C-alpha cells in the first residue's frame, strides 16, 4: 500500500486575505480529517502524548476520528484540554506533539493540531459544547484566579468542575488575555475565544473585569476577606524596548500597544469603533517571533504598502512558527535579515522618518543555542520607514510581585513556583507566563492544570 501523504490544511487565497481580517487557515473537512486520522499508526508507546503539555490521549482521539465517532473524540480531548478550538489553532504543534510523532522521522507527522481543531469546530457546529457541563456540587470553598489568559482559564475551569466557587479578576474590560488582545482575528477568531469563555461562565465561574489586583485589592486582602486560595496568572505583557536613541518619536509603537488597539479596541473597524490607529506607507517591524509576524501581517491588512520584518539573525533562527513565516511571506511581508536598528531618525516635528541600522553576521551559539549576531563595523545604513513596531518580547507583569513582598521572584521578575505551581506564600499559586517567562498557550495551560491539582490537594486537607 503506498504511504499516504499528510493532509495539509486549506487556506484562504492570498488576494482574499488582504484587506480583511478573515481567518486564514480554513480547517479540515470531514473527509480530510478522517483520511489524516487513518494515517495514524496507533503506536503502543504513543510518543506524541509526551509532547503535549496537558497530556491529551492523542492516539485515542485520532482513532475515534478514523471511526467517525467525533463526539467521543471531543470527549477525550476535553478531558485534558479546556480550550481545544484555541490550541488546535495556535499551539506550536511542530515543536510539541507533532515533533514527537513517530512519523515525524519520515518528515510527515500526523497533523495532530489540525485534527484537534477539526473535532473542536465540529463540536461547536453541532452544539455539543453547550451540553458538556459536568461538575460536582459546591464544596463551599472559594478560589480567586487573577488574570483570564489560558493559565487562569484552565485553573478556573478545573476547579469549578470540582465544586469550588471560582472568581476570576481581570484588569482589562474583556477576558481572554493574549488570546483576545494579542493574537489577531485572522489567526484566532474572537468568537471562538468568546465561546470558550462562555463555557467558563456556564460552569458557574464569576468573571470580574476592570479589576487590577495589586491596586483594587491586594493578594493579602483576597486571602483575608474571602478566598481559600489565590492563583496568579497575570502573564507577560510589559513590552521590552530597544533602548536606542529616538524611541519616543511619533509613529513608533510597541507590538503590544499596536495589537491591543486593533484586537481589543477594534481599531480595524474605524470609524465604527472610534479607536484611532495610523499605519504608514512603509512599516518596519523589529523582531522575529510570532508577535512580529502578527504585527507585520496586521499592518499589511490595514493598508501599508510595504512591510518589513527587521531581524538581527537569519530566518533559520527565527522563533516564529514556520507556518506563520510562510503565511507572512505569501502575503507580501519582506524580510530584512541580519539587521539591527541602532537609532530611530525623526524630522523637525519628531515624526519618524527612518531607522539607522547596522548589518550583522552570525558568530558562535549563545545560551539559547542560536548563533549570536555580531555587528559588522562600518556597515551602518539608513532604512526608510514611516511607522515602526517594536516586537522584541515582553517582561512579566510586575504589579502583584511589587505589592506582595512575601512572593519570591527570580532575576527576571517571574514568580518562583515549585513543580506544582506553589509559590513562596501559603495558599498562593502561580502559572503561565508570569512564572515561566514568555511561553506558549499550551504551556500556560499545562502549568494551570498542575496548579489546580495542587490547590485541590491542599484545600482537601482543610
Shortest approach of ligand SF4 to residue 156 CB, angstroms? 18
151 makes contact with ligand FAD (CB under 6 A): yes
Identify residues 79-108 at the interface with ligand FAD (CB under 6 A).
90-92
The 3 state secondary structure assigned to the chain is CCCCCCCCCCECCHHHHCCCCCCCECCCCHHHHHHHHCCCCCCCCCHHHHCCCCCCCHHHHHHHHHCCCHHHHHHHHHHHCCCHHHHHHHCCHHHCHHHHCHHHHHCCCCCHHHHHHHHHHHHHHHCHHHHCCCCCCCCCCEEEEECCCHHHHHHHHHHHHCCCEEEEECCCCCCCCHHHHCCCCCCCCHHHHHHHHHHHHHCCCEEECCCCECCCECHHHHHHHCCCEEEECCCCCEECCCCCCCCCCECEEEHHHHHHHHHCCCHHHCCCCCCCCCCCCEEEEECCCHHHHHHHHHHHHCCCCEEEEECCCCHHHCCCCHHHHHHHHHHCCEEECCEEEEEEEECCCCEEEEEEEEEEEEEEECCCCCEEEEECCCCCEEEECCEEEECCCEECCCHHHHHCCCCCECCCCCECCCCCCECCCCCEEECCHHHHCCCCHHHHHHHHHHHHHHHHHHHHCC
Q: Which of 21, 70, 81, 169 binds ligand SF4 (CB under 6 A)?
A: 81
Which of the choices ligand FAD, ligand SF4, none does residue 152 contact, using the CB cut-off of 5 to 8 A by kind? Answer: ligand FAD
Q: Decide: is 48 part of the binding site for ligand SF4 (CB under 6 A).
A: yes
For position 439 contacting ligand SF4 by CB under 6 A, the verdict is: no
Q: How far is the CB of 38 from ligand SF4 (least distance, A)?
A: 11
Could you say which of ligand FAD, ligand SF4, none residue 237 binds, taking C-beta under 5 to 8 angstroms by partner kind?
ligand FAD
Determine, following the binding rule CB under 6 A, whether residue 65 of this chain makes contact with ligand SF4.
Answer: no
Which one of residues 77, 265, 439, 454 is an interface residue with ligand FAD (CB under 6 A)? 439
Identify which of residues 109 and 354 has a Cβ nearer to ligand FAD in the complex: 109
446 binds ligand SF4 (CB under 6 A): no
Is 291 a binding residue for ligand FAD by CB under 6 A? The answer is yes
Is 169 or 308 the residue whose CB approaches ligand FAD more closely? 169
Query: Applying CB under 6 A, does 149 fall inside the site for ligand FAD?
Result: yes
Binding mask 189-228 for ligand FAD (x = CB under 6 A): -----------------------xxx--------------
Q: Does the footprint of ligand FAD cover residue 237 (CB under 6 A)?
A: yes
Does residue 327 interact with ligand FAD by CB under 6 A? no
> Least distance in Å: CB of 251 to ligand SF4?
37
- Give the binding site for ligand SF4 (CB under 6 A): 40-43, 46-48, 52, 54, 56, 58-59, 62, 81, 87, 91, 93, 96-97, 101-103, 110, 112-113, 116, 442
User: Which residue ranges make up the site for ligand FAD (CB under 6 A)?
Assistant: 90-92, 146-152, 169-172, 177-178, 182-183, 212-214, 233-235, 237, 259, 290-291, 294, 397, 399-400, 432-434, 439-442, 444
Amino acid at each position: 500500500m503506498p504511504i499516504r501523504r499528510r493532509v495539509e490544511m486549506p487556506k484562504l487565497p492570498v488576494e482574499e486575505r488582504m484587506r480583511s481580517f478573515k481567518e486564514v487557515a480554513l480547517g479540515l473537512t470531514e473527509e480530510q480529517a478522517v483520511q489524516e486520522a487513518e494515517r495514524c499508526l496507533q503506536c503502543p508507546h504513543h510518543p506524541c502524548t509526551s509532547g503535549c503539555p496537558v497530556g491529551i490521549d492523542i492516539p485515542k482521539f485520532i482513532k475515534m476520528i478514523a471511526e467517525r465517532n467525533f463526539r467521543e473524540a471531543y470527549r477525550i480531548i476535553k478531558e485534558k484540554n479546556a480550550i481545544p478550538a484555541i490550541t488546535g489553532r495556535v499551539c506550536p504543534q511542530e515543536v510539541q506533539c507533532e515533533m514527537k510523532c513517530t512519523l515525524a522521522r519520515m518528515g510527515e507527522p500526523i497533523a495532530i493540531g489540525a485534527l484537534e481543531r477539526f473535532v473542536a469546530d465540529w463540536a461547536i457546529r453541532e452544539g455539543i459544547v453547550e451540553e458538556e457541563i459536568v461538575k460536582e456540587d459546591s464544596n463551599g470553598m472559594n478560589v480567586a484566579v487573577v488574570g483570564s489568559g489560558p493559565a487562569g482559564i484552565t485553573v478556573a475551569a478545573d476547579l469549578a468542575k470540582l465544586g469550588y466557587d471560582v472568581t476570576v479578576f481581570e484588569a482589562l474590560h474583556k477576558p481572554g488575555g493574549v488570546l483576545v488582545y494579542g493574537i489577531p482575528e485572522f489567526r484566532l477568531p474572537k468568537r471562538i475565544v468568546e465561546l470558550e469563555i462562555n463555557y467558563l461562565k456556564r460552569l458557574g465561574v464569576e468573571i470580574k473585569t476592570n479589576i487590577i489586583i495589586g491596586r483594587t485589592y491586594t493578594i493579602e486582602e483576597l486571602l483575608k476577606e474571602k478566598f481559600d486560595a489565590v492563583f496568579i496568572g497575570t502573564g507577560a505583557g510589559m513590552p521590552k524596548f530597544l533602548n536606542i536613541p529616538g524611541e519616543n518619536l511619533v509613529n513608533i509603537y510597541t507590538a503590544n500597544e499596536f495589537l491591543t488597539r486593533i484586537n481589543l479596541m477594534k481599531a480595524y473597524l474605524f470609524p465604527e469603533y472610534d479607536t484611532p490607529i495610523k499605519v504608514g506607507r512603509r512599516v518596519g517591524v523589529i523582531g522575529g517571533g510570532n508577535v512580529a509576524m502578527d504585527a507585520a501581517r496586521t499592518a499589511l491588512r490595514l493598508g501599508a504598502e510595504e512591510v518589513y520584518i527587521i531581524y538581527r539573525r537569519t530566518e533559520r533562527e527565527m522563533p516564529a512558527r514556520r507556518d506563520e513565516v510562510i503565511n507572512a511571506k505569501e502575503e507580501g511581508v519582506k524580510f530584512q535579515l541580519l539587521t539591527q536598528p541602532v537609532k530611530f531618525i525623526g524630522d523637525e516635528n519628531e515624526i519618524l522618518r527612518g531607522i539607522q541600522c547596522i548589518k550583522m553576521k552570525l558568530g558562535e551559539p549563545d545560551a539559547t543555542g542560536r548563533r549570536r549576531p555580531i555587528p559588522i563595523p562600518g556597515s551602518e545604513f539608513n532604512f526608510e520607514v514611516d511607522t515602526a513596531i517594536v516586537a522584541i518580547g515582553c517582561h512579566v507583569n510586575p504589579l502583584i510581585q511589587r505589592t506582595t513582598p512575601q512572593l519570591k521572584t527570580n532575576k527576571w521578575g517571574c514568580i518562583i513556583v515549585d513543580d506544582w505551581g506553589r509559590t513562596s506564600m501559603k495558599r498562593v499559586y502561580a502559572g503561565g507566563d508570569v512564572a515561566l517567562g514568555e511561553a506558549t498557550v499550551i504551556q500556560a495551560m499545562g502549568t494551570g492544570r498542575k496548579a489546580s491539582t495542587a490547590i485541590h490537594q491542599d484545600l482537601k486537607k482543610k
